[in-house]
Chains A and B, each alone.
Chain A
Amino acid sequence: MESRFLGLAYLTPYIIGLLVFTMIPFLASLYLSFTDYTLINSPVWIGLENFRDLLDDRTFKRSLNVTLLYVFLTVPLKLAFALFIAVILNYRLRGIGLFRTAYYVPSILGGSIAIAVLWRYIFADAGLVNLVLTSIGLDPINWFGDPVNALFTLALLRTWQFGSAMVIFLAALQAVDKSLYEAAAIDGANKWHSFWHITMPLITPVIFFNLIMQMVQAFQEFNGPYVITGGGPLRSTYLLPLYIYDEAFKNFNMGYASAIAWVLFVIIMILTLVAFWSSKKWVYYAGDKRS
């Protein structure tokens, strides 16, 4: 095969997958968002009616608020924790490779239903966490029965899956020129000064990358609330992906579900654009002339 076609041949499976499983559903959902589509019958064009209905939909508003709260709670928590662990794992300790692997494991397992089930048992009323709390003389906590605790418990599950963000942070930390630390030490800087004035500015592009990735993923969280809390109590963990799923497959309202999905998409886009806009003020790239 000619070399100019070889690259295309390698890419073809991915392109087909992208078209069939991403682009076609993506465009189809845009069309369906303007229709009344019950899944059983053919879609009927209704213009902007689905989007107008969203304005009066209490469940949508509640779900949107919960989703935003979840994202704003989870993303900073996860990034801070991933960076913290990455800094620790950046030290040259004996057996550090083993630790790096061990800390990455939750990310491989984290999204699975099995881990969500495990989480449910750990935080259940008579679960491991409450067992530990009572064994040290503390009162047990109703993790899933209290609306605030329930969302926090789900946020913890996502935070626990910090491995992929950590690995990227670790790579960035290892790329920082060591001579900068030596020069700072000679000038009398302590570890905190070095971290804050050298490490942090130099890894801001990676923080920015992780911020975008984690935010997009958090907006799409489904497994955790579906398995662990079912969206309750009081819909305090009823994230938008759950609402989309219920509208589409339980209430036979695929048109409306598509409209919600597109609103979610626009929200993610706006927040991503805001992040890009703000990045000019806090992200530093190599060769950047700002001081």
Chain B
Amino acid sequence: MKLLSTTILAGVLATGAQAETLRMSWWGGDARHAQTQEALNYCGPKLGHEVAAEFTGWSGHQERITTQIAGRTEADIMQINWPWLPLFSRQGDGFADLRDYADIIDLSQFSEAQLAGGEMNGVLNGIPVSTTGRVFFFNKTNFDKVGLPIPQTWDDVIAAAPVFREQLGEDHYPFEAAGLNAIFLVSGAVTQATGKDLIDNETMTVAWTEEELLEGIRFYENLVESGAIRSWRQVAGEGNIELFEMRPWSDGRIAGTFEWDSAYAKYADPLGADQELVPVPMLTIGGSVTEGTYSKPSMLFSISQHSEHPEAAAEIINCLLNDPEAIEILGDSRGVPASKVAFDLLQGGDLINENVAAANALVLNGSGPIVSPFNEHPRVRDAFADNLEGVAYGQISAEDAAADIISSINRALRQFRS
């Protein structure tokens, strides 16, 4: 009994906050779920708190969080997607201000630029766990098989298409892009050509002209026509699943994709040990003025505005981000960490997968305009997806699609203009 009392007392004394029961929610894959639970099992007892884990896959997580926030039943600690900040906290009042807990969370481990990514209206709503970006990944094994080097330009990808068909079979493609990836490719091509992000944050309007966007759509059409990627119709034939879940990906019939750097394991694991997936620097189109790297703070750790125990939640966040043991447990399950102490520890201990580290380096060293979080606003995405799909199915012309994308996005952004 005496021992038990001493242990509890030590737990409480070790922290500034009282022993509390907290909830933490996140999305991710199996590896992230397992590692985060393990880290919470370390941080919770260490700080004298009990943390209940609430985790799901990516699909439907935003809807879940939305419902919880509307009902004021959200978890104390939440893993938040960066583009959600303006949706949930336009004025900065949707989440707790983490600078209020600067004595608990060691913010010195993050650069001002990193912290700025987690701010809304000057309020620190979330701490970036890592910086992420879209990276090209190619199945090196398949390119080796046909005797081609890994593509460095889009011309290389287009030139590889007939070689793949001739040597490996009609159903082999060097790349894949439909749905979200088609949006990224079109946007990337226009950004490379113009040096501008889709959205002008000053005016909250589309920064591109119809002609500029049209060129991007034509670039996508060219990829389909040249056989470098499967048509939208073919990809839709697989059903509503992601590329890494598809047989053509796991058996190597699709040899490339454009994904978040932190998603490396998700795409590499289904390939098995006999195929090697490697990250590749941004492919560019002729006359590019920038690489057009799409980088952003990835997920953020935030504290609920309605949490009854924000100090305890801050302690847990600090532990997950900056405690050496928790850092080792979490590894690169959320990409390459933004926290200096975490990065140094993982890099020094060789605890980051070399391909994940290489992919992240491409993001961090890439050039391109600052990306607006509104690129990922659901209505912006819908405007792109509906029109590109219409073009892919021959329902509308590329010209009409370009005009409609711009007018639809401008309409969607109207409510965010001051």
What is the interface of chain A, defined by CB distance below 8 A to chain B? 39-40, 120-121, 123-126, 142-147, 150, 226-230, 232-235, 245-246, 249-252, 254
Contacts and interface: CB of A to CB of B under 8 A. Distances in A.
Give chain A's interface secondary structure class: loop
Given A126-B247, A233-B393, A250 B235 contact: no
B378 A251 contact: yes
B238 A246 contact: no
Given A126-B247, A233-B389, A142 B237 contact: yes
B418 interface: no
A146 B378 CA distance: 24
A233 B239 CA distance: 9
Given A126-B247, A234-B390, A144 B239 contact: yes
Interface string B69-98: 110000000000000000110000010000
A224 B408 CA distance: 29
Q: Which of A143, A150, A233 has the most CB of B within 10 A?
A: A233
Contacts of A147: 393
Given A39-B69, A40-B70, 20 more contacts: A39-B66, A39-B67, A124-B238, A125-B234, A126-B248, A142-B237, A143-B237, A144-B237, A145-B232, A146-B233, A147-B393, A228-B239, A229-B236, A230-B240, A233-B233, A234-B393, A235-B386, A246-B378, A249-B62, A254-B70
14 contacts: A120-B240, A124-B238, A125-B234, A144-B236, A144-B237, A144-B238, A145-B232, A145-B234, A229-B239, A232-B236, A233-B393, A234-B390, A234-B395, A250-B62
Interface string B355-367: 0000000000000
Given A126-B247, A250-B378, A145 B236 contact: yes
Nearest to A125: B237
Given A233-B233, A234-B393, A246-B378, A40 B88 contact: yes
B94 to A, nearest CB: 7
B266 interface: no
Given A40-B94, A249-B66, A250-B378, A232 B240 contact: yes
B113 interface: no
Contacts of A235: 386
B78 to A, nearest CB: 14
Interface string B378-404: 110000001001100101000000000
A272 B235 CA distance: 39
B393 A249 contact: no
Contacts of A142: 233-234, 236-237
Contacts of B378: 246, 250-251
Contacts of B87: 40, 252
Contacts of A251: 378-379
B87 to A, nearest CB: 6
B273 interface: no
A245 B64 CA distance: 12
Contacts of A143: 237
A123 B238 CA distance: 8
B1 interface: no
Given A39-B69, A40-B69, A250-B378, A232 B389 contact: yes
A268 to B, nearest CB: 24
Contacts of A250: 62-63, 66, 378
A256 B395 CA distance: 28
A254 B379 CA distance: 15
B389 A234 contact: yes
A40 B72 CA distance: 9
Contact of A229 (B66, B70, B240): B240
B236 to A, nearest CB: 4
Given A249-B67, A251-B378, A124 B239 contact: yes
B241 interface: yes
Contacts of A254: 70
Contacts of A227: 240
Nearest to B395: A234
Q: Which of A123, A146, A226, A251 has the most CB of B within 10 A?
A: A251
Nearest to B390: A234
Sorted nearest first, the 9 A-B pairs with minimum C-beta distance are A145-B237, A249-B63, A230-B240, A145-B236, A39-B70, A120-B239, A125-B237, A145-B233, A142-B237
Residue among A39, A121, A145 with most chain B CB within 10 A: A145
Nearest to A127: B239
B74 to A, nearest CB: 11
Nearest to B236: A145
Contacts of A121: 239
Contacts of B94: 40
Contacts of B237: 124-125, 142-145
A245 B248 CA distance: 31
Contacts of A226: 240
Nearest to B377: A251
A6 B358 CA distance: 71
Nearest to B385: A232
A39 B66 CA distance: 7
Nearest to A126: B247
Nearest to A143: B237
Contacts of A234: 389-390, 393, 395
B164 to A, nearest CB: 18
Interface in B236-289: 236-241, 247-248
A125 B239 CA distance: 8
A145 B235 contact: yes
A61 B143 CA distance: 47
Contacts of A249: 62-63, 66-67
A121 B245 CA distance: 11
Nearest to B69: A40
A123 B239 contact: yes
A104 B390 CA distance: 40
Contacts of A150: 236
A193 to B, nearest CB: 46
Contacts of B379: 251
A92 B88 CA distance: 62
Contacts of A39: 66-67, 69-70
Contacts of B70: 39-40, 254
